[in-house]
Amino acid sequence: MALKTAKEYVESLRRLKLDLYMFGEKVENWVDNPVIRPSINAVAMTYKVAHEPELEELASTESMLTGEKVNRFASLFKSTDDLVKKVKLQRLLGQRTGSCFQRCVGMDAVNAVFSTTYEMDQKYGTEYHQRFRAWLAYVQGNDLCVQGAMTDVKGDRGLSPSKQVDLDMFVHVVERRSDGIVIRGAKANQTGTVNSHEMLVMPTLRMTEEDKDYAVSCAIPTDAEGVHLIYGRQSCDTRKLEEGDIDVGNYAFGGQEVLTVLDNVFVPWDRVFMCGEHDFSVMMVERFAGYHRQSYGGCKPGIGDVIIGAAAAMADYNGVPRAAHIRDKIAEMNHLVETLHACGLACSTEGWKTSAGNYQSDILLANVCKQNVTRFPYELCRLAEDIAGGAVVTVPSEKDFRHPVVGKYIEKYLKGVADVPTEDRIRMLTLIHCMSFGLTAPSYRTESLHGAGSPQAQRIMIERQTDMDLKKRLARSLAGIDKREDVLA
């Protein structure tokens, strides 16, 4: 099948029979639901750009499996150049949607599982890698959207999976049958599940022998029997149910997070890619995390570009674009965004070839990238709110603005510079509000903190990946504690 168009993608979602709940009710026509549709539009953009001639090389690539042209979000990374193009594409999509476009998790999961299954097979003589290749060829051939499912609900964080009071706090195998396995548990904070055709399940942390039932990776259709989806709340999300488009800010695009319940879901063996090989769980987790933390060097700078543009526009509308402190703040915002992007590019160019043949981003630098992402977007939002002014949180509703009695007062008293319509100023204020406070991404701030792992998770990986013995040897040599290097030798 050729690459799907955005329209074909949206129509393909209508064929899914999801068991989806939101606001205490089952959602039937979820594709046209005004709360959900902006997030569908954001994913659709990943399909749209693949058909734009000027972006063809960035948004699509040759399949490592079949040699056919595929969407980059369903591809394996064949080189460090592919890793760089991934980050550049993500920045462009962040710019064009101003939100999470949800396919990065699946792309990163595909590459992590691909290389890990190869090494599992090498050690144990299993058939996971060939199964995975066949499934991925199916995904690529049908241009499907895949959601990577890693984060478990975790229960008591002080206990391992097998020691939980409720053993379902981590997804695990509850039955092994001749034709497949049955799994149970839940995945939390799942980005884009409702907008995906398939879920690629992975373990969430390092497993021990006692936890081997939790060392499971498999592929599940999002509408499989036993899969229940509960849509996550977003700040100000019911604004999407109101008339008008001003109060929503970024009206066309948005993200989504879902609690994904797996209640005795059957998975046939040809869709199982890990089942008890607990010693490989850490490899899968670390490789996925490396890819996904690399991703944040693309999407978050792209969304940051929009926030910078909105802040600069507000400076114009407020009549202070040349004020020294405003210029300094916008310069700082650009510095922060470009630093994030530089980290994403650095861990891409320093990538390495796995035994399976695809390329892995540099894990240390990817974690440095994501550590910066846990901080810089907070400052970007703070500066945008500072430049915009207090009206960013007190601007009246669109209904008030359109009201025959009080509308004239809003038109008069929320005016900025004379040649900019009051409505333009209100629209820019609400864009900053929705991006900063959570309606669009959800929350550029909070998602930047917890997406792809908490700040402490990156610090652990930075410590694990850093060669401290080398650094100590360098210091001892220069200090003369160890033998100094003879520069003339």
pLDDT tens, position by position, 178-193: 999 999 999 999 999 9
Domain match, 201 and 310 both: no
Please give the full DSSP string across 175-226, using - where no structure is assigned: EEETTEEEEEEEEEEEETGGG-SEEEE---S---GGGGGG-EEEEEETT-TT
129: domain CATH number is: 2.40.110.10
Active site (annotated) includes residue 119: no
C-alpha to C-alpha distance for 74 and 107, rounded to whole angstroms? 6
- Rg of the chain, C-alpha, whole Å: 24
Domain match, 273 and 311 both: no
Task: Judge if the upstream peptide bond of residue 38 is cis by omega within 30 degrees of 0.
Answer: no
430: domain CATH number is: 1.20.140.10
Q: Report the DSSP beta bridge partners of residue 274.
A: 217
Domain match, 230 and 348 both: no
Domain boundary among the residues 255, 278, 301 is at 278
Domain membership of residue 192 (yes or no) is: yes
Domain match, 266 and 327 both: no
Domain match, 307 and 190 both: no
Mean pLDDT score, 34-62? 97
- Structurally, the chain folds into a number of domains equal to 2
Active site (annotated) includes residue 100: yes
Domain boundary among the residues 249, 278, 307 is at 278
pTM for the whole thing?
Answer: 0.94
C-alpha to C-alpha distance for 250 and 164, rounded to whole angstroms? 42
Domain membership of residue 476 (yes or no) is: no
Of 348, 393, 382, nearest to 82 by C-alpha is 348
Active site (annotated) includes residue 299: yes
Domain membership of residue 336 (yes or no) is: yes
Tell me which of 100, 343, 347, 381 is the catalytic residue.
Answer: 100
**Strand (E) positions, 2-145?**
20-22, 25-26, 60-62, 69-71
Burial class (CB in 10 A: 0-12, 13-18, 19+), 90: buried
Domain that holds residue 376: 293-470
Active site (annotated) includes residue 335: no
Given the structure tokens 């864009």, which residue do they identify? 431
Residue 344 one-letter amino acid: G
Domain boundary among the residues 278, 303, 324 is at 278
Tell me which of 197, 292, 341, 433 is the catalytic residue.
Answer: 292
pLDDT band at 440 (very low <50, low <70, confident <90, very high): low
Active site (annotated) includes residue 5: no
Tell me which of 47, 231, 296, 444 is the catalytic residue.
Answer: 296
pLDDT per residue over 76-121, tens digit each?
999 999 999 999 999 999 999 999 999 999 999 999 999 999 999 9
With a pLDDT cut of 90, the percent of the chain lying above it is: 92
Of 251, 250, 252, 249, nearest to 395 by C-alpha is 249
User: What's the token pair of residue 169?
Assistant: 């706090």
Give the per-residue pLDDT at 1.
60
Tell me which of 9, 61, 104, 343 is the catalytic residue.
Answer: 104
Given the structure tokens 């003339």, which residue do they identify? 488
Active site (annotated) includes residue 292: yes
Per mean pLDDT, which range of 44-58, 69-83, 412-426, 451-465 is the poorest? 451-465
Domain membership of residue 478 (yes or no) is: no
Tell me which of 46, 116, 151, 191 is the catalytic residue.
Answer: 191
Domain membership of residue 486 (yes or no) is: no
Tell me which of 299, 347, 369, 434 is the catalytic residue.
Answer: 299
Active site (annotated) includes residue 129: no
Domain match, 307 and 353 both: yes
Domain match, 235 and 318 both: no
Domain match, 128 and 171 both: yes
Quickly count: other Cβ atoms within 10 Å of residue 105's Cβ. 28
For residue 438, is pLDDT > 80? no
* Residues in Cβ contact with 205 at an 8 Å cutoff, skipping those fewer than 6 apart: 281, 282, 285
Active site (annotated) includes residue 151: no
With a pLDDT cut of 70, the percent of the chain lying above it is: 99
Given the structure tokens 């400052």, which residue do they identify? 379
* Residues in Cβ contact with 276 at an 8 Å cutoff, skipping those fewer than 6 apart: 173, 212, 213, 215, 216
Domain match, 330 and 386 both: yes
C-alpha to C-alpha distance for 259 and 271, rounded to whole angstroms? 22
Domain membership of residue 184 (yes or no) is: yes
Domain membership of residue 302 (yes or no) is: yes
pLDDT per residue over 444-467, tens digit each?
777 787 777 888 889 988 999 999
User: What's the token pair of residue 38?
Assistant: 């902006």
Domain match, 225 and 372 both: no
pLDDT per residue over 328-375, tens digit each?
999 999 999 999 999 999 999 999 999 999 999 999 999 999 999 999
List Cβ<8 Å contacts ≥24 apart for 399-407.
399/242, 399/243, 399/244, 401/246, 401/426, 402/244
Domain membership of residue 319 (yes or no) is: yes
Domain match, 75 and 118 both: yes
Tell me which of 198, 257, 277, 398 is the catalytic residue.
Answer: 257
Domain match, 265 and 392 both: no
